[in-house]
Structure 1
Amino acid sequence: MAISVLLSSASVYPLSVHDAFATAQDLGYDGLEVMVTNNASSQDSAALRTLSERYQLPIGAIHAPTLLLTQQVWGNYWNKLERSITLAAEVGAQVVVVHPPFRWQSDYARSFAPGVRDLAESSGVRVAVENMYPWRVRGREVKAYLPDWDPLPQDYSDVTWDFSHAATAGVSSLQAVEALGNRLRHVHLTDGSGSGRDEHLIPGHGNQECAEVLRYLARKEFDGAVAAEISTRKVKGVGEREEWLAETLSFARKHLADIES
């Protein structure tokens, strides 16, 4: 079975979820990963089902509003996660993507791993914790996440792997994906140059082994999805966003089909 290539609605930010569906249909993506934001449609299961039916595209994943820019969405962090799981179940998504707790969320962090497992088991929705990266201030690393930005040594049943975050952290995505084994549930396809910034480049434009990882996943018959999550906020010309997203989709399809390498 072919691995699905989704379009993350984050890839069209600051445009709406409606724009993400339209773009995904135009370019030939297999479905959507919806990032829950301040945009009302991203929080509304009925609105999302209507869009999914209109564009004939399934919603494969929900990204919980655990970013700094979505702190005001859905209250405290357990509530954010519980509502994201409910939303995923209502729209038929198989996975909820969540970031690890920030250091200052100590109570949430202490019960995070067992809490995530309990919610996943009780709901039937997989909750995949995303790899992040160390923050650096004046050349020194700051511990921003608890228990850590790196999910490999943590007791998570399911993990989302993001290439841009790996580049910022200075780690090898191929080695990490191999080490994760069956715990790898979801992939954010993007890239980074290792500059120390979270760049979300088009895959193949950075230093991560994006092609090698996709070929590896194809050989291993990965049963999760790959979601394009590039930054298009700096596009200038008309149609440039679509060109970048088309290139990302082409990259994914090419290397997911290349199981001989």
Structure 2
Amino acid sequence: MTSPASQPLFGLSTASVYPEPTAQAFDYAERLGYDAVEVMVGIDVVSQSTDRLRSLRDHHGVPVCAVHAPCLLITQRVWGTEPWAKLERSAEMARDLDADVVVVHPPFRWQRDYAAGFVEGIADLERRTGIAFAVENMYPWRATSRRGMVVYQPGWDPSEESYANTCVDLSHAATAQSDPVAMAERLGPRLRHVHMTDGSGSAKDEHLVPGHGAMPCGPFLEGLAARGFSGHVVAEINTRKAGDPEARERDLLESLAFSRLHFAAPGEGAGVQPGLEPERP
């Protein structure tokens, strides 16, 4: 799935509407003008069902651009406990829904066998399935100090590995106290997928509405636009404290407007390398 004229797809993650169900994300996406939906496979049974997701896609006329594999701590038992089997199933769902990306987190250090062959295993999955596995940046776990405990293997920064496709999440960058623009520079054309969100730089992974934290969200998007990025820009924000559907809708609409505005007005010197065009598997 590609977007016309080197434009990205502006998508909505189903995680952004929690605690409302997966189905509601498709309704928001249709009404607010999102181009696509990223499905976070989780404990909601609808998010685990290709048939039900296909029905939602067709009913609302909103395509699925990506599937987020169930690799969070709270989804460790979704689709079983064998991590490679979960990625295979995620690729199958993506293919059946006409999505071209599976978003995946790096393994936890205690998943030793999985972690040992992760980089090579991801490359093999891409070759066999034709689906891009965008490995997402994470962060050290920390309390209040700058020092953190490294819990991801081979590491939380995908730019340090040889992944063909990657995802930059700006809330994770805030928690890691890292610069997402510099990370985009290092990734170059390997950046395929973006979780557009924000964070204050605290130890908490906040997933704020873009522009409500400390991350350079605007310059990040402007730099991508200046270099012809045509991957996915997906709003993945936390609306649990929105209070009511109307407040949630305002946050979702603001997130989409922010992304479209800054991508439509590329600035200079945003730090993204020339030729930033996502690779296709």
- What TM bracket, shorter-length normalisation? over 0.9
C-alpha spacing 1:112/1:239, structure 2 compared with 1 (3 Å): same
| Aligned counterpart, 1:54 | 59
Counterpart CA distance in 2 for 1:47 and 1:99 is: 25
Residue 82 of structure 1 and its aligned partner are, at CA, apart by 0.7
Q: Which amino acid aligns with 1:175?
A: A
| Aligned counterpart, 1:145 | 152
Contact 2:219 2:267 in 1 (8 A): no
Q: TM-score, normalised by structure 1?
A: 0.97
Q: Which amino acid aligns with 1:112?
A: F
Q: Which secondary structure does the structure 2 equivalent of 1:6 belong to?
A: strand
Deviations 1:186-236 (A, max 9, x none): 000000000111000010111111111111111111121100000001112
Residue 238 of structure 1 and its aligned partner are, at CA, apart by 4.6
Contact 2:104 2:136 in 1 (8 A): yes
Q: Which secondary structure does the structure 1 equivalent of 2:65 belong to?
A: strand
Contact 2:225 2:264 in 1 (8 A): yes
Q: Which secondary structure does the structure 1 equivalent of 2:12 belong to?
A: strand
Contact 1:194 1:207 in 2 (8 A): yes
Contact 2:94 2:102 in 1 (8 A): yes
Residue 84 of structure 1 and its aligned partner are, at CA, apart by 0.3
Counterpart CA distance in 1 for 2:92 and 2:244 is: 39
Please tell me whether residue 90 in structure 1 is matched to residue 129 in structure 2. no
Q: Which secondary structure does the structure 1 equivalent of 2:138 belong to?
A: coil
Q: What are the equivalent positions in structure 2 for 1:3-18 lying under 5 Å apart?
A: 3-18=8-23
C-alpha spacing 1:46/1:154, structure 2 compared with 1 (3 Å): same
| Aligned counterpart, 2:69 | 64
Residue 88 of structure 1 and its aligned partner are, at CA, apart by 0.3
Moved more, 182-191 or 34-43: 34-43
Please tell me whether residue 172 in structure 1 is matched to residue 179 in structure 2. yes
Residue 164 of structure 1 and its aligned partner are, at CA, apart by 0.2
Counterpart CA distance in 1 for 2:191 and 2:155 is: 17
Contact 2:221 2:262 in 1 (8 A): yes
Counterpart CA distance in 1 for 2:215 and 2:153 is: 25
Deviations 1:4-52 (A, max 9, x none): 1000000001221110000111111001000001111111111111111
- Stretches of structure 1 that go unaligned for 5 or more consecutive residues are none
Q: What are the equivalent positions in structure 2 for 1:5-154 lying under 5 Å apart?
A: 5-75=10-80, 76-137=82-143, 139=145, 140-154=147-161
Counterpart CA distance in 2 for 1:238 and 1:245 is: 10
Residue 237 of structure 1 and its aligned partner are, at CA, apart by 4.0
The total of aligned residue pairs comes to 261
Q: Which secondary structure does the structure 2 equivalent of 1:226 belong to?
A: strand
Q: TM-score, normalised by structure 2?
A: 0.90
2:199 counterpart (179, 189, 192): 192
Residue 260 of structure 1 and its aligned partner are, at CA, apart by 5.0
Q: Which secondary structure does the structure 2 equivalent of 1:177 belong to?
A: helix
- Stretches of structure 2 that go unaligned for 5 or more consecutive residues are 269-281
Counterpart CA distance in 1 for 2:247 and 2:160 is: 39
Contact 2:144 2:202 in 1 (8 A): no
Counterpart CA distance in 2 for 1:227 and 1:164 is: 13
Counterpart CA distance in 1 for 2:214 and 2:260 is: 20
Q: Which secondary structure does the structure 2 equivalent of 1:152 belong to?
A: helix
Contact 1:3 1:256 in 2 (8 A): no
Moved more, 213-222 or 121-130: 213-222
Please tell me whether residue 211 in structure 1 is matched to residue 218 in structure 2. yes
User: Where in structure 1 do 4 or more consecutive aligned residues deviate above 3 Å?
Assistant: 137-140
Identity %: 50
Residue 138 of structure 1 and its aligned partner are, at CA, apart by 6.7
Counterpart CA distance in 2 for 1:98 and 1:64 is: 6
| Aligned counterpart, 2:188 | 181
Q: Which amino acid aligns with 1:114?
A: E
Contact 2:141 2:149 in 1 (8 A): yes
